[in-house]
Structure 1
Amino acid sequence: MLMKKKFKSLKNIRHQGDQEVISRNSDVWNSNPNSKEDGGRLWFRLKNDNLFRKKYTLTMAYIGSFLTLGWVEGQFGPTFPELRFIVHTTLERGSLFFTMTTVGYLLGAVVMGYLFDKRILDRNLLMFLLIAGYGVTIAIIPWCSLYEFMVIIHVVKGTFGGGLDTCGNAGLVVIWGSGGDAYFSALHFAFALGAIIAPLATAPYLMPRDDSVFDTTHNRTHGFLNSTTKNHSYVSIVGDVNNQTNSNLTHTSPGNHASMVYIPYTVTMALCILTSLPFLVFFLVSLQKSLEREKVNEIQNKGKTQRRLRIMGFITMAIYVAIYVAVVKTFSGFLTTFAMSELHWTNLQGSYITSSQWGAFATGRFLGIFFVQIFSPGRMIFVFNFMMLISLLGFLIASLYDVIIGVWIFAVLAGFSMSIIFPVALMWTEQNFLRVTGKIASIFLVSASVGFLVNPPLLGTLMDTFTPMWFCYLLFAETILLSLLYFAGLYTATRIRRGKSIAAEVELTVLKEKTET
């Protein structure tokens, strides 16, 4: 009788433990472990819970830092042609700015992730130095008139940006653990919000299309070509190769046109300094020491097969994130250049469509705060990945046939479909493969940097050598690859789920047999 009671008790305990494990992965599509507080309780806790109020305050500072990070990201695309004008270089050589930024991003993610985990510096002090240094670096960029200096400063810029991205994501994990999905979505919404505001704030200070050497795709002289045909004189973008054979070509120094891009870059520096100050205050009052999160004992599956599957799933998602980030950053970074070179838009028009794309991106990130409470990460990745595939296909066709309204519609739709995949991919990874700690977040950012490292020089060469339409071809092909990687991850997650169910049943059977004997 005593043995039966003991078995019953053990069975109940084991059943509860199994339910805790299986509930996270019982359905790859529909599982949603998030439990969110309503608005009333949030305000109550802010008013009465001192520790929660400190966490919330620090979270707002992190969100502000990502607003700045997104601002810099959104500002780079519209100003990229003007940065090429400042150093008098071609699209192919100018694409090295993207590559060097990514190299710095990779370096910053590795180094700052190590400093963050080892606590060599106080985490709030580290955040202050990263944001403030980011701002100072941005302010220097417009004054680098030499190509080599411009390349070097973009490495430094990327280092600060990668460090900020890594520490921001890891910092939120430290504060909230697995219960901060809504705050995590808000963090990435702030990034998108900054990216939509920046092009609008930058546009008034950009030079008109005919006052700059924006499209030097086939120009190796780094200057304007003043083309004269018969009695009609006009300023021509060098990409019009067919007219060059009948034109008298003379050079006009780009130095005759003054760039004002230093003004929005100085505003960006001021924004960085402003958002860095809360972290300096937190460091001075030692806020971080009171927010150490207790370690939670996770139920681990020690089977070698499960471990291998989890690693395989994690690697799949790391590659997925790398290609996804490459697509998103390339689309936003080259959109203005593509619109000017292929569609013959002005720089101002290119800035507006970039801003609209970021607006849709920000809208999707904002809605993602609520979506994560309703839909499972697996289903959200599938739906938004499919939308991204359709939108880039539509953008390709609309650009090919010069359907302007189609270009606008599908650019906006592409921005919306790209919005929430990154944070949701992190949630899906934690739910099915590995817990997203600071180290895991750093690995994701490193893989993202490596993925984006290849795209700009490859795309710049393809657009320079063949046609600007390779902007559409390359991104669409990479989106197809994203879909294949998603299904590979889904298959791996399903195998892990089935393995858990079988292991739970076997262990219960063995326990029952031992008790009966």
Structure 2
Amino acid sequence: FTVLVVFVIAIWGKRSSPFVQFLHFSQGVGGCIVPLLANPFLAPTKYVDIENNGTYSNMSNASSGPDNASMVAETTEPNFLINENNDITESSVKYAYLIVAVYYGVVGLLFFLIAIKMKTIRALRQDAKTLNNEQPTESTKAPLNKRYRVKMLFLVTLIFYAHGGVQITLNVLITTFSVEELQWTKYLGTAIASVSGGAITLSCLLGTFATKILSQSQMISIQLLIMLLSMVTMVVFVQTHTYVLWVTVIFTGLSSGSMMASIYSWLQENVMPVTGIVVSCSMVGKSVGVMTVPLLAAGLMENVHFMWFTYLLLGIVVLLGVIAICIYASFKVHMNNQNAQCAVVT
């Protein structure tokens, strides 16, 4: 997926924003439907006949009901031997993996054919311009010195660390928080986790159209503001008004879902080409955030108080905003310095 982001940006350049947003939307849709596609290949839960020393009982690992106690009580020995006549269904999940392997093979083959035909990504970009009857234009980005480039890559790593930490912590621990702190049922706890994932996916679809009327700077500012207001509202009101959790989770998902694509597009337009090193730094930051932030949140929830789930999310969102301000300030300072140098030369 990371390669696809670079590939799309390389083809469309400054006009890649809606395509990157839609690419993230398609990833979210795939994450929703893949479990449904794999379900037919999984073994269904079946009752099996167990016979031991002449004692007979019907048991199922997933069964529950008023008859379970009597069935277990009828069994007199701790060791159970499965009757050879039982028809136990085996999982066919290997076929699901085979389908995934074939799919990736086809996609890889298509990219291989494109690489052979077009030679380079620059050729793809030139073809896109030719198809749209456009003339090549010079880049408007300021020249990059090594110090500025390293600083921006470091800030990119940090902002994706915070972004990944917020998303994964919200999705992974929202069920635990709602069940343990708010005393919701497990059904509602899993339902709100699903709503969070759905909001993130929908956000990318809405972002595809939002890029037509808003600049990337405006989109990121709106996303950060909505996330901050949602987290503050959650911290203040979630214990007294439980519906607040639904509202804040939905708005947080809608604002954070398309932010990753917005950041990539903003970097491409204003700072530097989004090549392998930029995306690699972002993935490193996001991976570290995914590993560390939920672990920290879980530890605080278990050892201190479950409300630390909301406190930590608010803190990470504030950190996300501070890093975004630092990136924008560094960009403006660099641009002003470049303009001053150009004025002196002329």
TM-score, normalised via structure 2 length = 0.71
Q: Do the aligned partners of 1:395 and 1:410 also contact (CA within 8 Å) in 2?
A: yes
Q: Do structure 1's residue 185 and structure 2's residue 21 form an aligned pair? A: yes
Rounded Cα–Cα distance in structure 2 between residues aligned with 1:436 and 1:353: 34
Q: Do structure 1's residue 384 and structure 2's residue 212 form an aligned pair? A: no
RMSD: 3.2
Match in the other structure for 1:109: none
Match in the other structure for 1:345: 184
Match in the other structure for 1:157: none
Q: Do the aligned partners of 2:200 and 2:256 also contact (CA within 8 Å) in 1?
A: yes
AA in 2 matched with 1:188: H
Report the alpha carbon displacement of residue 190 of structure 1 after superposing the two structures with TM: 1.4
Match in the other structure for 1:294: 122
Match in the other structure for 1:169: 5
Q: Do the aligned partners of 2:169 and 2:294 also contact (CA within 8 Å) in 1?
A: yes
Question: Of 305, 330, 337, which aligns to 2:169?
Answer: 330
The 3-state SS of whatever aligns with 1:294 is helix
Q: Do structure 1's residue 395 and structure 2's residue 234 form an aligned pair? A: yes
Change (3 A) 1:266 1:460: farther
Match in the other structure for 2:133: none
Match in the other structure for 2:208: 369
Rounded Cα–Cα distance in structure 2 between residues aligned with 1:434 and 1:462: 39
Question: Of 152, 156, 159, which aligns to 1:317?
Answer: 156
Match in the other structure for 2:110: 282
Q: Do the aligned partners of 1:195 and 1:358 also contact (CA within 8 Å) in 2?
A: no
Change (3 A) 1:263 1:194: farther
Match in the other structure for 2:328: 490
Match in the other structure for 1:102: none
Report the alpha carbon displacement of residue 300 of structure 1 after superposing the two structures with TM: 7.4
Q: Do the aligned partners of 2:165 and 2:293 also contact (CA within 8 Å) in 1?
A: yes
The 3-state SS of whatever aligns with 2:121 is coil
The 3-state SS of whatever aligns with 1:436 is coil
Rounded Cα–Cα distance in structure 1 between residues aligned with 2:307 and 2:298: 11
CA offsets 1:80-103 (integer angstroms, 9 cap, x no match): xxxxxxxxxxxxxxxxxxxxxxxx
The 3-state SS of whatever aligns with 2:238 is helix
Superposition map of 1:138-217 within 5 A: 165-196=1-32
Rounded Cα–Cα distance in structure 2 between residues aligned with 1:489 and 1:267: 46
Rounded Cα–Cα distance in structure 1 between residues aligned with 2:213 and 2:92: 39
Change (3 A) 1:424 1:405: same
Match in the other structure for 1:448: 286
AA in 2 matched with 1:191: Q
Rounded Cα–Cα distance in structure 1 between residues aligned with 2:115 and 2:255: 36
Q: Do the aligned partners of 1:357 and 1:415 also contact (CA within 8 Å) in 2?
A: yes
Superposition map of 1:430-509 within 5 A: 430-507=268-345, 509=346
Rounded Cα–Cα distance in structure 1 between residues aligned with 2:320 and 2:7: 28
Change (3 A) 1:320 1:199: same
Change (3 A) 1:477 1:201: farther
Rounded Cα–Cα distance in structure 1 between residues aligned with 2:327 and 2:287: 21
Report the alpha carbon displacement of residue 268 of structure 1 after superposing the two structures with TM: 6.9
Report the alpha carbon displacement of residue 412 of structure 1 after superposing the two structures with TM: 0.8
Q: Do the aligned partners of 2:141 and 2:270 also contact (CA within 8 Å) in 1?
A: no
Change (3 A) 1:314 1:375: farther
Change (3 A) 1:300 1:190: closer
Q: Do structure 1's residue 411 and structure 2's residue 249 form an aligned pair? A: yes
Change (3 A) 1:335 1:445: same
Q: Do the aligned partners of 1:336 and 1:354 also contact (CA within 8 Å) in 2?
A: yes
AA in 2 matched with 1:278: V
Q: Do the aligned partners of 1:182 and 1:369 also contact (CA within 8 Å) in 2?
A: yes
TM-score, normalised via structure 1 length = 0.49
Superposition map of 1:263-274 within 5 A: 269=97, 272-273=100-101
Structure with the bigger percentage of helix: 1
Report the alpha carbon displacement of residue 266 of structure 1 after superposing the two structures with TM: 7.6
Question: Of 241, 244, 266, which aligns to 1:428?
Answer: 266
CA offsets 1:237-266 (integer angstroms, 9 cap, x no match): xxxxxxxxxxxxxxxxxxxxxxxxx98988
Change (3 A) 1:396 1:318: same
Report the alpha carbon displacement of residue 490 of structure 1 after superposing the two structures with TM: 1.8
Report the alpha carbon displacement of residue 374 of structure 1 after superposing the two structures with TM: 2.1
Report the alpha carbon displacement of residue 373 of structure 1 after superposing the two structures with TM: 2.5
Change (3 A) 1:270 1:364: farther
Q: How many residues align?
A: 283
Q: Do the aligned partners of 2:200 and 2:257 also contact (CA within 8 Å) in 1?
A: yes
Report the alpha carbon displacement of residue 199 of structure 1 after superposing the two structures with TM: 8.2
Report the alpha carbon displacement of residue 346 of structure 1 after superposing the two structures with TM: 3.0
For structure 2, the 5+ residue unaligned runs are 43-89, 126-137
- Structure 1 runs (4+) deviating above 6 angstroms are 198-203, 262-268
Change (3 A) 1:421 1:300: closer
For structure 1, the 5+ residue unaligned runs are 1-164, 206-261, 510-517
Rounded Cα–Cα distance in structure 2 between residues aligned with 1:323 and 1:263: 39
